[in-house]
Amino acid sequence: MSPLDWIVLLGTLGFIVIYGVWKTRGSKDIEGYLKGDNSMKWWTIGLSIMATQASAITFLSTPGQAYEDGMRFVQFYFGLPIAMVIISITVIPIFYKLNVYTAYEFLENRFDLKTRSLAAFLFLVQRGLAAGITIYAPAIILSTMLGWSLTVTNLIIGVLVIFYTMSGGTKAVSVTQKQQMAVMMGGMIIAGIMVVSYLPENVGFGDAVAVAGKMGKMNVVDFSFDWDDRYNFWSGMTGGLFLALSYFGTDQSQVARYLGGKSVGESRLGLLFNGLLKIPMQFLILFIGVMVFVFYQFNQPPVFFNEAAKSKVYATEYADELRGLETRYTAIFEEKQEAVQGLVTALKADDETAISSAQGKVAALNSAGKEVREEVKGLITKAAPDAETRDTDYVFISFVMKYLPAGLVGLLLAVIFSAAMSSTASELNALASTTVVDIYKRNVKQEGSPKHYLNASKMFTVAWGLIAILFATYASLLDNLIQAVNIIGSIFYGTILGIFLVAFYFKRIKGHAVFLAALMAEAVVLYCFYFTEIAFLWFNVIGCACVILFGFILQGVIGEKKEEPEA
């Protein structure tokens, strides 16, 4: 990194922390700290919702996902616009009418205290774990850049975020996110333009997309049905819909965004704004990943994108073996480069026979390259068992660090850090508000002063931050980061959504029945996670359906007479 990059990075981070602290200077009670002043317009809500969802993980992991797997991940978001419409019609008017702080307050009004507490508890578990990954994602960057250990990097970033979050309230988070969102998208668009401009002179934009298509990366939509396939049209429209309903309708980190709106109409427009723009935004980020893939068809990629892990191997007796593998990888690349140029020529000439022949050649060489990469991963496992063997999350940042000019590297890093800090701040704020409002204030200390609850909120922010750091330390054991966040969400979201759907639409089912049904549904989802191969998006559907089904059955068994009101 050049001095200019450091100035841009540190200047931006310093500005965000100071701005966050400055914005909270008026928060004297829990109302100001957790809810803002219901003054937000729809564009602030919309951008804030998008910024909360699009954390550093989105910018680090999604291009890497496209590099490995193509565009098909975009199908994951197909259910989101439908969810935005359903929430706008059903959920927002009720939350506004009841004037709630958190989504779970509504459940006590509809059912009872134990159901409210259970839903709040499930949220706390899954969001607490996800917050750990949100801290872990930018920690990867520093570890790659500076050669620090991930644990140390997690600690440094985590402590900085805790300080910022403890000082910052909901309003400061939302206002900051509006500006950050513009910077994030601006930065990504510039990165996309740069990668295309780095392609060889004879390869235009159209040629680059055609090459990507011939290598199976333009697989945007797949209508074939397969239970075990994570991303296809059907899993996106059903599992994705349920996940989006749960996330935007019941996850406090999102509910808090639109509860701060000026009116029902402003909140609705904010959500619908997200429904219109989320898919194009994800498409763009994935497409940048595909363009990075095409770029590396003409420029040699590293055999393993995580340089820190590779350095560990070089420090052992396996160094010569790794060197040999790198030489083999270079030879394959050189041969492939010729084949890719042949493919470009064939595509320009529209010669089907030549295209088919070149495509086959490139595919065979890609397979050979993949084999070498697998051998390298095996070597890393042998030489440095604590090192990561997945490098998907390093693909984009590795490109940024190596090829973008001075200043732009710092800007993109600042964007990623800002996104991480902002998302984590939002998450820790939601975790603290749910712990205080739904658990502490309702179950532990009901008669505290506003000052007491404000201090408790700050204390719980610190506590959740420390838990997130702890989880971040073990996040490297998980699958691809963005998938890990969604898997954790899917394990709990279906059950939470089931409770809310029963509350909204199934008047007959009461508190005891839905509480027991939720416990049983969660057990079913956990069984599916540990003992079956079912793709994780279906957990949302299974958990939700089980709550409704068990709720009906249990209500029939328990009967209305047994439903005793709680004190």
Partner 1 sequence: MKESNLAEPVDTEEEIEKPPFFKSWAGMYWLVLGNLAFLVLLFYAITKFYE
Task: CB nearer to partner 1: give 494 or 511.
Answer: 511
DSSP annotation of 112: -
Task: CB nearer to partner 1: give 94 or 159.
Answer: 94
Task: CB nearer to partner 1: give 432 or 496.
Answer: 496
Contact of 563 with 112, CB cutoff 8 Å: no
Minimum distance from residue 163 beta carbon to partner 1 (Å): 38
* Tokens, residue 366: 């890609």
Minimum distance from residue 511 beta carbon to partner 1 (Å): 6
Task: CB nearer to partner 1: give 238 or 263.
Answer: 263
Minimum distance from residue 544 beta carbon to partner 1 (Å): 17
Residue type, 336: K
**Cα–Cα distance, 209 to 311 (Å, whole number):** 34
Minimum distance from residue 221 beta carbon to partner 1 (Å): 5
> Contact positions toward partner 1, by CB under 8 A?
71, 74, 78, 81-82, 84-85, 88-90, 93-94, 96-98, 108-113, 209-210, 212-214, 218-223, 233, 263-265, 268-269, 272, 275-276, 279-280, 283, 503-507, 510-511, 563, 565-567
Minimum distance from residue 84 beta carbon to partner 1 (Å): 6
Task: CB nearer to partner 1: give 42 or 464.
Answer: 42
Sign of CA dihedral 524, 240, 255, 472: positive
Minimum distance from residue 120 beta carbon to partner 1 (Å): 15
Task: CB nearer to partner 1: give 119 or 503.
Answer: 503
Minimum distance from residue 15 beta carbon to partner 1 (Å): 33
Task: CB nearer to partner 1: give 25 or 507.
Answer: 507
Contact of 545 with 539, CB cutoff 8 Å: no
**Cα–Cα distance, 402 to 398 (Å, whole number):** 6
Task: CB nearer to partner 1: give 373 or 512.
Answer: 512
**Cα–Cα distance, 103 to 475 (Å, whole number):** 28
**Cα–Cα distance, 176 to 169 (Å, whole number):** 11
Contact of 65 with 482, CB cutoff 8 Å: yes
| DSSP alpha helix (H) spans, 147-169 | 150-167
CB atoms within 10 A of CB 97: 10
Cα 260 versus chain centre, distance: 23
Minimum distance from residue 97 beta carbon to partner 1 (Å): 4
Helices (H) and strands (E) in the chain, counts: 22, 0
Instruction: Give me the half-sphere count of Cα atoms (radius 13 Å) on the Cβ side of residue 98.
Output: 15
- CB within 8 Å of 352: residues ≥ 6 apart: none
